[in-house]
Amino acid sequence: METNPPKRRDNKKSLRVKVISLGNAEVGKTSFKTDFNYISPHDLTDYSTQSCIIKRYCEKRFVPKYLATIGIDYGVTKVQVRDREIKVNIFDMAGHPFFYEVRNEFYKDSQGVLLVYDVGLRESFDALDSWLGEMKQEMGSQANMDSIVFVVCANKVDLTKRRVVDEGEGRLWAESRGFHYFETSAQSGEGINEMFQAFFSSITDMCENGGKRPVSEVSVGFTKEQADTIRRIRNSKDSWDMLGVKPGATREEVNKAYRKLAVLLHPDKCVAPGSEDAFKAVVNARTSLLKNIK
Ligand code: GTP
Ligand code: MG
């Protein structure tokens, strides 16, 4: 006698993930939430006074007034990625240094991190390294960065006139670390949906890949050393600094430093965005220094 075949178990169970948002105060982290049934403790009280990337996505609205997040804002939402339901716990961190003691408890067990900076404030871009540093320090031995999806949001791109960090520089920082990069505006909505879609879909891919970030995302065709060197060259204050030699260095020292950089950045060998300009700048710096050294 034939028995009924056992019912196929649904192996696409819903996933529960934790994501956090990091970045200096006032860069627009809270402002992202707009469209996904975001339930926050503030919804029960006076959520209308909360400011804006997360808000933009969860509520499809933008609040121009700045209201600093006090410590942490927590919310839960559900999103659909392919045939899977994802329950997302969002911890929106306060960027002000004052809240470090509150923030530091919430880094552990995150699968996704939004790293936000304001394209009009260079210090908020430069601070991304210290945000990663704070996170690594607080996660301690748990700090396995390969098991976390990072998305860098270059926010406030609507304010074009005050922009000081260009796309190449931001993308280079992000992609050389295997992070996603998106240009966003919580005000106009530009890039927000695409960014969240890529974020949640990458987290789902990672969970389905046994908790490791898929390799394809990490491999960008250039090294972190190349990316960091291009960034250092862009930010150097003079030709000595650009070549990484002390003022008054000899011809030999200048040539040695030049050769090292040329090997690293030659356009035939380096595909990192900005490498061509960096290489030209290094050639010019060497020429001008050699002119003045006997
Ligand atoms: P903390 O909670 O203090 O860490 O700040 P935050 O990063 O959460 O900043 P918030 O989202 O509160 O936004 C700060 C200010 O920037 C608010 O006045 C927002 O209206 C404004 N803002 C946020 N995103 C944008 C944007 O894309 N464009 C413009 N023009 N303003 C923005
Ligand atoms: Mg905030």
Bridge partners for 88 per DSSP: 17, 77
| pLDDT for position 9 | 47
| pLDDT for position 72 | 84
**Number of other residues whose CB lies within 10 A of the CB of residue 229:** 21
Contact indicator for 201, 143 with CB cutoff of 8 Å: no
Q: Which residue's alpha carbon is nearest to atom 24 within ligand 1? A: 28
| pLDDT for position 255 | 96
Phi first, then psi, for residue 81 (nearest 5°) are: -120, 115
Instruction: Say which amino acid occupies 94.
Output: A
Contact indicator for 75, 40 with CB cutoff of 8 Å: yes
| pLDDT for position 260 | 93
The pTM (predicted TM-score) of the whole model is 0.75
How do residues 234-258 score in pLDDT, each as one tens digit? 889 999 999 999 999 999 999 999 9
The verdict on ipTM greater than 0.95 is yes
Distance CA 197, CA 160 (A): 25
With a cut of 50, list the residues of the chain below it in pLDDT. 1-3, 7-9, 34-51, 217-218
In testing the pocket of ligand 1, which one of 33, 40, 53, 66 has its CB within 8 Å of the most ligand atoms? 66
| pLDDT for position 238 | 94
| pLDDT for position 46 | 34
For ligand 2, the distance from its centroid to the CA atom of residue 75, given in whole angstroms, is: 13
Structure tokens at 261: 């950089």
Distance CA 4, CA 174 (A): 53
| pLDDT for position 102 | 86
**Number of other residues whose CB lies within 10 A of the CB of residue 149:** 27
Ligand in nearest proximity to the CA of 159? 1
- Closest ligand 1 atom, CA of 50? 12
For ligand 1, the distance from its centroid to the CA atom of residue 165, given in whole angstroms, is: 17
| pLDDT for position 5 | 53
For ligand 1, the distance from its centroid to the CA atom of residue 67, given in whole angstroms, is: 8
Distance CA 79, CA 85 (A): 6
The sheet with strand 72-81 has its strands ordered as 72-81, 84-93, 15-22, 112-118, 149-155, 180-183
| pLDDT for position 142 | 60
For ligand 2, the distance from its centroid to the CA atom of residue 124, given in whole angstroms, is: 14
- Closest ligand 1 atom, CA of 156? 27
